[in-house]
Chains A and B, each alone.
Chain A
Amino acid sequence: MNVTMNTQETKKDGKVATPEVAAEGQQEASSLYTESLAHRNHSDHKTEPHITAKDFSIYYGDFEAVKKINIEIPEKEVTAIIGPSGCGKSTFLRCINRMNDLIPSCHTSGELIFDSHNIFDPHVNVVALRQRIGMVFQRPNPFPKSIFDNIAYGPRLQGIKSKAELADIVENSLRNAAIWDEVKDRLNQNALGLSGGQQQRICLARALAVKPEILLMDEPTSALDPKATARIEDLIDELRGDYTIIIVTHNMQQASRVSDKTAFFYEGNLVEFDKTEAIFTNPRMKQTEDYITGRFG
């Protein structure tokens, strides 16, 4: 099925008469991507796709930021998205829980399927969707409230009022984010008083408190020092198997350390998507190889 779709796409590209080189690159990328997908489908049947993109494009006004990508993100694994700045990886990540709704000029085409529904179906309840798909941002952004209120924010939105229940959720979330021991004595203090690394773990705990199925991480360590980065990476490792994690990162070592699968985006195209090992040791595409060896980006 994927193969037929890709042929259609190639045809279309031909019709629109895009510059030859680009069309060729896309064709190559698409075919390779299909191959790798086929490979994946043959080799491991254990994991089901959690998020499926079908010919999914994202536009800012007239500009096509993400171009007709097809990807199947496996459940309860860590998927890293890498690529140079402006390649559309963050844009794609933000679309998964429809954070792009905050940008008026942003619109999409194609399908992005989660739980057998198109995320961009007008009937989708965005609030419910965002509770199932949590997000951690590039810069730590705790609310200017106490640590307790930060973590309890999501559960309270869901209507949980019982103090004991909230306290339970807060403790569990903070334990899961490996910060309970550091903050258990000062839950009533303002979260902005913590260090950057601690704040980011608070944000992670805050996302976990809503009990999401998927965690989106948009360069979660780019504003942190190496030590704090290592702690977040350890944390991602611990969360593996319980959550589907999609992490956008500029740091290729980080992608190779934490992820099971890696997707390489370039200029809005999904160039290659494979097991992380394969991407970093034996990339099929020249662009990928150039990027991970540091020749550009």
Chain B
Amino acid sequence: MDIKSRSILDRSFTGFAIFAVILMVLSLIALLGPIIYNGLGAYIFDATIEHKKVLMDLFERGNKEELKAETEKTNTARQKLYSVMTEFEPELKEMIDKNPERGYALDSDYDDFKKTVYKLLGPKPGAKTPVMARDRFGATRWDKALTILNSITELPEWDYSSGIGVKTFKPRRDLYKGTKLEKAFDDYLTPSFLKQMLEPGWTFYYGFLTDQSYDAHFFGGVWPEVLGTIYLTFGSMLLAIPAGIIAAIYLVEYAGDTKLVSFIRSCIGTLAGVPSVVFGLFGLACFIGKDSIFSISENASVAAGCATLALLVLPTIIRATEEAIRSVPSSYREGSIGLGATKWECITKIILPSALPGILTGIVISMGRAAGETAPIIFTAAVSVGKAVNLDNIFSQPTPALPWNIYNLCTEHQEVDQIRYVQYGMVFTLVAIVLVLNLSAIYLRARVSKKLRG
């Protein structure tokens, strides 16, 4: 091959490499961008006065006097809407008598109208406090409020003229033409007047991270999930790191090179590739229930989840540690032994410190994995709704955890569309936790290897 085509090959390789790197960066941005944008929506949003009421009623936070004054101010605005409604109600009764066809049609629609208004503004003043927390408050977020307002003013209609049903909207106002309620649509059910009724304002809701959740995540934060994730991550690391490092030391330094050892080694490799749901079922079979082999708890518990996750990441830690120990120059070993160190002293004082950066890499990878795995904890540790678990209950109590609850929320929550932002917030929080864990481990590794390199 002549020198020209060789250099062309070389250059095109560089081009491909740069292209691949750019592609990776772009997909990272495409992936993280929406997560961050949507997820931040759970923390920073345009909050209405109802949000303040939630904080005051459920968490006893906020300024009571200020809230009272604001509530009065919004109540005077709301009163205008309510009075139109009370004026309309006798008119509706009269209409049912005079013109039953239109009257009954309006009556059934008016029920829906009322419900939606209470959903927007909260229960009517003076009404009995509803049982469900979700019925006790109006829209807490301005974007949510605008959507609800839209569903008040617009009615969906299906047009079948083309053969396929096409969804169109028509103003609800047309339905109430000539009644007293028309005034409500004209003057009060508009975004500008809604502002007076709800007093929106931008807020940073740090409580999304630190608050308990209320009424299946309708209100409050994700603290139980965050705490559960932290328990599971650190608990599994607490079990897996010592076991993994000791196993790796044994395999490299003591076990020799027999057939049995190479068999064990390939078993570890296989174990690293086993689907995580298998580990989950293994944990269910071995750790849970009185009759199981290594019974940890009667039902799902944090400790059983930690043990299952530890088994899941153990092969990764063993392999990374093995590689790291193998890559320590043999001259360090010789130097240490030559100065009269025993094998154990050589391992603890020279080999492990030199292998530390590599070991930390393995720990970083497994920590991210333990924090994000869903399948192993479904059967062993997770619960859909729950309060934060105390440390002394980890051997008996299951815990909510971010990866499981993200999945659970989007598949099993009855009204997930109402609280999508909670789901995004959970994903964002999980990514942030894994990122923080990784960054701190990377920082630690950089410090250690700098110390080793001199």
Contacts and interface: CB of A to CB of B under 8 A. Distances in A.
Interface of A: 97, 99, 102, 104, 127-128, 130-131, 134-135, 137, 139, 141-145, 153-154, 157-158, 189-193, 203, 206-207, 210
Contact of A206 (B339, B349, B451, B452): B339
11 contacts: A102-B333, A102-B334, A104-B256, A127-B342, A137-B331, A141-B331, A144-B353, A144-B354, A157-B339, A189-B454, A193-B454
Contacts of A137: 331, 334-335, 338
A97 B454 contact: no
A141 B331 CA distance: 6
B334 A143 contact: no
Contacts of A207: 338-339
Nearest to B451: A190
B336 interface: yes
Given A144-B353, A190-B453, A191-B454, A153 B336 contact: yes
A37 B336 CA distance: 36
Given A141-B329, A144-B454, A153-B349, A203 B340 contact: no
A211 B308 CA distance: 52
A143 B335 contact: yes
Nearest to A130: B340
A106 to B, nearest CB: 14
Contact of A190 (B340, B345, B454): B454
Interface of B: 256, 329, 331-342, 345, 349-350, 353-354, 451-454
A134 B256 contact: no
Contacts of A134: 338-339
Contacts of A135: 334, 338
Given A190-B452, A191-B454, A193-B454, A130 B334 contact: no
A167 B337 CA distance: 22
Contacts of B340: 127-128, 130-131, 154, 157-158, 210
A99 B336 contact: no
A203 B256 CA distance: 29
Contacts of A145: 353
A203 B335 CA distance: 9
A225 B335 CA distance: 22
B335 to A, nearest CB: 4
B350 A143 contact: yes
Contacts of B451: 144, 190
B339 A192 contact: no
A99 B350 CA distance: 17
B330 to A, nearest CB: 8
B255 to A, nearest CB: 12
B262 to A, nearest CB: 16
A209 to B, nearest CB: 8
A9 B133 CA distance: 100
**Chain A to chain B: the 7 pairs with minimum beta-carbon distance, closest first:** A190-B454, A141-B331, A131-B340, A193-B454, A144-B452, A192-B454, A135-B338
B338 A97 contact: yes
A255 to B, nearest CB: 22
Nearest to B454: A190
Q: Chain B's interface: helix, strand, loop or mixed, by majority?
A: helix
Contacts of B331: 137, 139, 141
A42 to B, nearest CB: 36
Nearest to B339: A154
Given A141-B332, A190-B453, A153 B339 contact: yes
Contacts of B350: 143
B453 A99 contact: no
Nearest to A155: B339
Contacts of A191: 454
Contacts of A142: 335
Nearest to A193: B454
A210 to B, nearest CB: 6
A8 to B, nearest CB: 35
A130 B333 CA distance: 14
Contacts of A141: 329, 331-332, 334-335
A99 B337 CA distance: 8
Contacts of B452: 144, 190, 192
Nearest to B328: A144
B357 to A, nearest CB: 10
Contacts of A210: 339-340
Nearest to B449: A144
Most buried by A among B331, B339, B349, B453: B339
Contacts of A130: 337-340
A157 B454 contact: no
Contacts of A157: 339-341, 345
A271 B354 CA distance: 42
B60 to A, nearest CB: 54
A193 B451 CA distance: 11
A173 to B, nearest CB: 12
A97 B339 CA distance: 10
B344 to A, nearest CB: 11
A155 to B, nearest CB: 9
A193 B454 CA distance: 5
Contacts of B333: 102
A130 B335 CA distance: 11
Contacts of B342: 127
A206 B336 CA distance: 10
Most buried by B among A135, A141, A206, A207: A141
Contacts of A154: 339-340
A192 B453 CA distance: 7
Contacts of B453: 144, 190, 192
A102 B331 CA distance: 12
B338 A143 contact: no
Contacts of A153: 336, 339, 341, 349
A210 B342 CA distance: 15
A99 B334 contact: yes
A144 B345 CA distance: 16
Given A99-B337, A127-B341, A157-B340, A143 B454 contact: no
